[in-house]
Amino acid sequence: MRTLLVTLAIALPLLISGCSSQPAAPEQPGAGVEDRKPTAITTPPVVQPPISTGNVDPYDIAELKNPKSILSKRNVFFDFDMYIVKDEFKPLIEAHAKFLVKNPKMKMLIQGNADERGSREYNLALGGKRSEAVKKALLLLGAKEDQVESVSLGEEKPRCTDATEECWAQNRRGDMLYSGEY
């Protein structure tokens, strides 16, 4: 043991001095720092786009907001656990399809909704099927694929929050929104 300690005492300084065979490099100066003062950034105000996107007849745009026009109606309601468009809503979908055919620059977003019953995942899937059903009906009547987008909101955007059948019926729907409204 003593021999090992003596050997280490002799070898250790040799090992340490053998590691630094080159002299240390002189210290280099640091990089210069530029002094900058912050400048104000100005951005133009955000303007909400109008409902019109292109060459759309102003009369047609007015019809979208006229409460006496069928085009002002934007909701398709569904039966419980169903995603088949009922006959009573076919004239509404036909009117919106004609509007989209006449105004090819217009875009529509269909939001599928469900009532609160069922799991979140189930309601998202059901809302998706409802929005797709409305979209397919519009496409069959002449609207173009790039004009219509469908999404599911599931139970996230209820129209009514009471736990009654009348209230749940209001939440089982597809909402049609035109560009500038979503």
Q: What is the CATH number of the domain that holds 156?
A: 3.30.1330.60
Give domain status of residue 15, yes or no: no
Identify whether 4 is part of a domain.
Answer: no
> How far is residue 138's CA from residue 107's CA, in Å, rounded to a whole number?
12
Whether 166 is in a domain gets the answer yes
23-49: average pLDDT: 61
Would 140 be classed as within a structural domain? yes
Over residues 98-145, the pLDDT tens digits come to 999 999 999 999 999 999 999 999 999 999 999 999 999 999 999 999
Of residues 46 and 26, which shows the higher confidence score? 26
Number of domain units in the chain = 1
Which domain range does residue 154 map to?
64-178
Q: Say if 33 falls within a structural domain.
A: no
pLDDT at 27 (0 to 100): 73
Considering the domain boundaries, does residue 148 fall inside one?
A: yes
What pTM was computed for the model? 0.69
The residue ranking higher by pLDDT, 21 or 127, is 127
Note whether residue 32 is domain-resident: no
Which residue did the predictor score with more confidence, 159 or 47?
Answer: 159
Whether residue 84 lies inside any domain: the answer is yes
